[in-house]
């Protein structure tokens, strides 16, 4: 009965999660056009791919992932730190300081978006905070870096190929977060949702 009463709200929440998921490939394409360097882009992909794979597999409730979740998360953090240090050293050796900044910010940004998507439908308070905070960090970092590397007029020109993906990923993320929050507020108002 509760599910029937919250059918619209549930649909809104799932739509929000889908928008966040679609924002991930749009962000990756946008980052590729910004970096304009295949080697740096490969390092960027390697830095977040395992996080994405871990979160994706955890949604299918695979025993190996569920039973070793904390250990795998710690290993991923260690791996990300090592990748970050190695990547920074390699980029500095290439004398591309601007790319170091871009790489670091965009890597953090995409990991934040993946976390936002992963925890979007959670009813646990701690994970819901992660959802909101990571979403806000992603939006801020994306806006700052896009406007820094392009001037404001170029950034707002949606008809430029490179800008379309960046602007669209920001809009998808923003809409996704708003949909999820609105859906859950409506469910709470009806007494159909309580955070744990």
- Report the chain's mean pLDDT, rounded to a whole number: 83
Asked if 180 contacts 116 with a C-beta cutoff of 8 angstroms, the reply is no
Q: What per-residue confidence (pLDDT) applies to 3? A: 47
Rounded Cα–Cα distance for residues 16 and 176 (Å) = 4
pTM: 0.85
In a domain? residue 98: yes
Nearest to 110 by CA among 171, 47, 64, 33: 47
Lowest-pLDDT range of 36-45, 50-59, 83-92, 130-139: 83-92
In a domain? residue 194: no
Residue-wise pLDDT tens digits, 159-181: 455 567 888 899 999 999 999 99
In a domain? residue 195: no
Predicted confidence band at 151 (pLDDT cuts at 50, 70, 90)?
Answer: low
Asked if 194 contacts 188 with a C-beta cutoff of 8 angstroms, the reply is yes
* Rounded percentage of the chain residues whose pLDDT exceeds 70: 84
Residue 115 has pLDDT above 80, yes or no: yes
The domain in which residue 38 lies consists of: 2-189
Nearest to 116 by CA among 94, 138, 100, 83: 138
Return all residues near 184 (Cβ < 8 A) that are at least 6 apart: 9, 13, 193
Q: What per-residue confidence (pLDDT) applies to 84? A: 79
Asked if 105 contacts 113 with a C-beta cutoff of 8 angstroms, the reply is no
Q: What per-residue confidence (pLDDT) applies to 61? A: 67
What is the domain count for the chain? 1
Contacts 24+ apart (CB under 8 A), 161-168: 161/33, 162/30, 162/33, 162/34, 165/26, 165/27, 165/29, 165/30, 165/33, 166/27, 166/30, 166/33, 166/34, 166/142, 168/26
Predicted confidence band at 16 (pLDDT cuts at 50, 70, 90)?
Answer: very high
In a domain? residue 196: no
């Amino acid at each position: 009965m509760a599910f029937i009463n919250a059918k619209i709200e549930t649909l809104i929440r799932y739509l929000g999660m889908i928008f966040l998921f679609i924002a991930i490939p749009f962000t990756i394409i946008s980052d590729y056009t910004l970096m304009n360097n295949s080697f740096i882009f490969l390092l960027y992909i390697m830095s977040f791919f395992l996080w994405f794979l871990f979160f994706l597999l955890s949604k299918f409730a695979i025993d190996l992932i569920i039973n070793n979740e904390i250990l795998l998360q710690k290993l991923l953090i260690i791996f990300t730190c090592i990748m970050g240090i190695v990547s920074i050293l390699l980029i500095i050796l290439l004398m591309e300081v601007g790319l170091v900044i871009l790489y670091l910010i965009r890597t953090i940004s995409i990991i934040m978006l993946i976390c936002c998507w992963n925890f979007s439908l959670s009813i646990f308070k701690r994970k819901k905070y992660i959802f909101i905070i990571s979403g806000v960090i992603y939006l801020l970092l994306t806006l700052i870096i896009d406007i820094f590397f392009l001037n404001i007029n170029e950034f707002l020109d949606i008809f430029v190929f490179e800008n379309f993906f960046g602007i669209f990923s920001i809009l998808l993320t923003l809409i996704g977060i708003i949909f999820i929050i609105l859906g859950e507020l409506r469910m709470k108002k009806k007494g159909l949702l309580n955070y744990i």
